[in-house]
Structure 1
Amino acid sequence: MGEEDSAQIIGIPDELCMKAGMSATWRSGNKLGVFAHKHMSVNSDDKKSNFHPCDSQVYFLQPEVILFSPILRKLVNESNGVFISIRKIKSLNTGEIRPELVKHSKQYRSILRACVESLQDDIEKINNQEQKLITQNYLTIFYNIECVWHLTEILYVNTIPGDVIVPQFVEWIRFHFPSRGLMAMKILAKKTIGAEETNSNYWESVIGCALHGKLDAVRALLLLHSKADDQAFITADNILRTMPIYNVYGGYSINEFTMRWKHWQLDLSSNLECKTFIVDHNLEKLMMLVSGDESVLWDYASEYTEAWYELLAAKLLYSSPCCKQAELSRHANNIADKWPANRNLDQTILALMESDLHQVIKEIQYMNDNGWFAAHLTDLLYNCEQLNIIDKNQINVTDLLHESLILDYATTLMNNSSLWQCGASYLEYCPNQGMTRLELLLQTIPLDSEAKIKKIIDLAKKNNMNNVVASICKIQGIKCIKKNRLGNALAWALKAQDGPFATYIADKFLNKYAETGELECRDLLENLGASMLTSDRLTFLGKYCEFHQMYEIGEFKEAARLLVSLIISNLTPKYFWSILLTDAIPLLEAEDIILSSDDTFTLMSCAEEHGDDPKFEDKLEIFRYAVARNLARALNFEGCQI
């Protein structure tokens, strides 16, 4: 399908849009928001709108992404594994990696073949006609993709010594056009002599097998002919049996094989000139086809083919069995010019044979597979060093094109709530724009579960995206604060190592304590450890919580030490001085001397500086009395100690 044929008109069923007009804006990913909008300009009348007040709707439009269909999830996930594996072999291998890349290409094809078979099975089970058509469309798309990938592998990835491509090309034809072979198997299974009389598809099967180079099947079918014992059929069988088939590992050089093949062809031509096969019109046409007679190929055999490349395979096999890839373009164009190749698949295959990979990439982007094929095939060719794209300004854009296709595919996956991690793994291997794109897209993912948030944060940390971690943690922390869950909010702030946010939450804890006299989330605060160093205010909160812990278990001297250290640390918020001074009173009035004279002088100095807080006014006299009493006891005790 051409680009101009893919345009689609979508109706918006909105009366307000019809009256006022419409506008649109891009949302995240490939989503478009469409809404009613009265278009105004500098020349428009300045008057009150006729549409106010009104109920306005926003319509979200986005192209269908078939990869999000559950039946195609396996394809997406498994191909992602192969993509990452290619990166690993590149990083670990310093030698020739082409054999490994061939294995990975076959893995991609195996995944595609499994997908095609799964779709075929599903079509048989679906009763809903609309769903059946959708699945049939998926099947067509991925069958075509597998077909093109297989040929690309033959021509550009799994190249063989000598570069003779005919044997592999014929195998490709047999694999993707199996109908005549299956027809022949049904006829052969019956083992009926005179099969041409009982089966109307007999000669179609014979010619179809001959076009695909299945000469053993052709010979077996000819043995079922009612005239099989005739000398013409015996001669035909002998000629077909002795036809040389080139094999790079067959022990013959190309020159030796060519001599053997020409000798065989000369023998066949001699029999044709002597009218050896004239006893049966179809037999004669068959032997003329095998002799390489191109007129028979078009006038007789073409009606038994589904695509022009079937004819090309026969032409190469019987006329140029040692054809190399460099010569393939000429032969392909000779055949394709006579065949109405309007399908996207036909144009793609012709571009492959012409070694025009730039055109191939353009064509495969019209296959409606949301970029899966273009991204993975281009990546394989790039790693095989077979991709060399020059733009119209004669600038090499291979690297840019390679990365661009992967970016587009990854961005599509990032818009799915289940496949975003898969998309992120592609972006991590895009050296130029991957990290920037990943950083932007991670912040657009809906934070709808704790597990997903953890995965996003872990991925951001792995790629040193500290601002993404801080942003997500702050969003989650604010949500927790709104739900009055300060402990969870503090945990998010610590996860992000966000000092200002941790200070804000610590203030929330201290203010709440100042109002209620209760410290929340004691377990968390008592086990902050080194995390309390995230901010000064959090350090103060952690130490103050530790002071309470020591006081409650009766470690009064340690509690007093902590209290004095808080007072002299200069970390105390202004609203909390009265609370620290109040906490000192029980320690000053304890039966044992807990605070030294130096500690007492520190408390006196603090009271002079901060004791004017209205909240401490009613406790000031008690505090002064306790200070005087403790100072006297401390000085007396310390004097005796000396």
Structure 2
Amino acid sequence: RLCVSMRCVSMLCVWRLCVWLLSWLSPCDLSPLSFCARFTSDFAFPGFDETLTEFELKWQHWHGECFNHLQCGTFSSSQHMESICKILLGDEDALLEKRDLMTTWYHYLVSHLLFTHPTVKPTELHSYAQSSLNTFLAAASSPEPLDNILLAALEFDIHQVIKEFSIVSSNWWFVAHLSDLLDRCELFSSHNMDFGSNMREFLLLEYASGLFSHHSLWQLAVDYFDHCPKLGRAYLELHIERIPLTTEKKALKVLRICEQRQMSDQVRSICKIMAMKTLRHGRLGSALSWSIRAKDAAFATLISDRFLKDYCERGKFSDLDLIDNLGPAMLLSDHLMFLGKYREFHRLYSEQQFIDAANLLLSLMTASIAPCYFRLTLLLDALPLLEQKEVIFSTMQTYALMKCLEDPKRVRRSDSSIENTKVEMLRLALARNLARSIMKEGTLRS
């Protein structure tokens, strides 16, 4: 593979040299030209089924024939053809004479080696490269960063290559992928760093950390962290908490990443942050949904109270779809359960299932899960049921409601004349219902 690469680069160089030299030929140079063309076409290149020894013998024969023609003066009639022959023999002075046709020192290196030492061993490349660099560059010139990288590569010093690239590169993309590729090919002898990671993982972590600061590439960094078995998860947990959750869409993306990796602490943290944000914007439904996902009982209780207070002020619920579909989530807190059951009472009442609605209302009162500020509202909800033509509450249920109404620990009283009027109306309705229920039950016994 090395010889094939050298052939491609060198032939390009020779072609450019020949084009330049042939442009100076006169008709009298045609005979030397035919010799030169034959030498160029007969130049020995290794075959795929040819051994190294066979190739060296063939190349030595070609080189010797070319040298003999130069010594015999075959090309003495044409200075340019003689220059071509010297180049084919690898004459250093002849090559450097045409330095302006070669763009870099490694262009010169390949051309020189191809015509002087085509079977060079990989371990010898570095010394030839250093010599070519010193020869090709002017005394005042200093090596470029790429020159140092190539020298380290030709010396097979992988760590130095990575170090040099890290110095000149604006990011860690190349060194991260190079170290990963070499590690997978088992050519990279990674050594452990002071903090427990190896070189491959360290470079991947640094590159992924840089991606996380980008507004649109941060999701790619997650995949890189996933391929770092030792510290990848710790880095991901650290960076995921720093992502600005500017929109719910972005928050859901981050949440999905955390849920896929069972990062329960980060899931709760994200949900709490979003619950607080949506609550500050007055979006009670979204806030409750996020608090349920966070499994935060205290916050769910707070938002449930906001729903109930909002109902007390407006006389109706917002976000009915969410409340109607709480399901098992209402077990998260007592106030959330009360909110769900109270909404169920309203649904039963609207469907004219009065007996079921009355039983549920009474159970909510006697179970003591209703907030103190809401118990009077709960009792007042019994008024429409007490005024029905059919007796809904039994005698025992009516006594239970009366007890709740008169118990100061259960119902907070206020000095509001409106509330006092409502309480008096409730007492009257309870007394009337008690009489009706006693008469009904007595009739049934008879």
| Inter-CA distance 281–629: structure 2 relative to 1 (3 Å threshold) | farther
| Inter-CA distance 323–595: structure 2 relative to 1 (3 Å threshold) | farther
- 2:299 maps to which residue? 501
| Inter-CA distance 548–565: structure 2 relative to 1 (3 Å threshold) | same
- 1:284 maps to which residue? 82
RMSD over aligned CA atoms reads: 3.1
- Does structure 2 retain, via aligned residues, the 8 Å contact 1:593–1:633? no
- 1:414 maps to which residue? 212
- 1:630, distance to aligned residue in structure 2 (A): 5.5
- Does structure 1 retain, via aligned residues, the 8 Å contact 2:90–2:116? yes
Name which of 310, 315, 319 aligns with 2:112: 315
- 2:183 maps to which residue? 382
| Inter-CA distance 219–519: structure 2 relative to 1 (3 Å threshold) | closer
Query: For 1:397 and 1:266, how far apart are their aligned partners in 2?
Result: 60
- 1:202 maps to which residue? none
Query: For 1:465 and 1:526, how far apart are their aligned partners in 2?
Result: 30
- 1:225 maps to which residue? 25
Counterpart amino acid of 2:2? Answer: I
- 1:288, distance to aligned residue in structure 2 (A): 1.6
Alignment of 1:613 onto 2:418: no
- 1:449, distance to aligned residue in structure 2 (A): 2.9
| Inter-CA distance 285–218: structure 2 relative to 1 (3 Å threshold) | closer
Alignment of 1:345 onto 2:146: yes
Counterpart amino acid of 1:361? Answer: I
SS at match of 1:338: helix
Name which of 308, 315, 327 aligns with 2:124: 327
Q: TM-score, normalised by structure 2?
A: 0.86
- 1:347, distance to aligned residue in structure 2 (A): 0.6
Name which of 39, 57, 72 aligns with 1:239: 39
- 1:576, distance to aligned residue in structure 2 (A): 2.2
- 1:533 maps to which residue? 331
The sequence identity of aligned pairs, in percent, is 34
- 1:166 maps to which residue? 3
Q: TM-score, normalised by structure 1?
A: 0.61
Rg (Cα) greater in structure: 2
- 1:380, distance to aligned residue in structure 2 (A): 1.9
- 1:303, distance to aligned residue in structure 2 (A): 4.1
In structure 1, stretches of 5+ residues that fail to align are 1-163, 175-208
- 1:305 maps to which residue? 102
Alignment of 1:428 onto 2:230: no
| Inter-CA distance 319–308: structure 2 relative to 1 (3 Å threshold) | same
- 1:253 maps to which residue? 51
SS at match of 2:215: coil
| Inter-CA distance 398–492: structure 2 relative to 1 (3 Å threshold) | closer
- 1:453 maps to which residue? 251
Alignment of 1:629 onto 2:443: no
After superposition, the C-alpha distances for 1:123-164 in whole angstroms (9 at most, x for unaligned) are xxxxxxxxxxxxxxxxxxxxxxxxxxxxxxxxxxxxxxxxx5
- 1:138 maps to which residue? none
Using CA pairs under 8 Å that are at least 6 residues apart, name the structure with larger relative contact order, 1 or 2.
1
| Inter-CA distance 367–170: structure 2 relative to 1 (3 Å threshold) | farther
- Does structure 1 retain, via aligned residues, the 8 Å contact 2:272–2:290? yes
After superposition, the C-alpha distances for 1:402-461 in whole angstroms (9 at most, x for unaligned) are 122222222222212222222333223222222222223233233333332222222222
- Does structure 2 retain, via aligned residues, the 8 Å contact 1:413–1:422? yes
| Inter-CA distance 386–637: structure 2 relative to 1 (3 Å threshold) | farther
Counterpart amino acid of 1:451? Answer: K
- Does structure 2 retain, via aligned residues, the 8 Å contact 1:532–1:539? yes
| Inter-CA distance 452–333: structure 2 relative to 1 (3 Å threshold) | same
- Does structure 1 retain, via aligned residues, the 8 Å contact 2:205–2:228? yes
Number of equivalenced pairs: 434
Alignment of 1:519 onto 2:317: yes
- 1:512, distance to aligned residue in structure 2 (A): 2.4
In structure 2, stretches of 5+ residues that fail to align are none
- 1:328, distance to aligned residue in structure 2 (A): 1.9
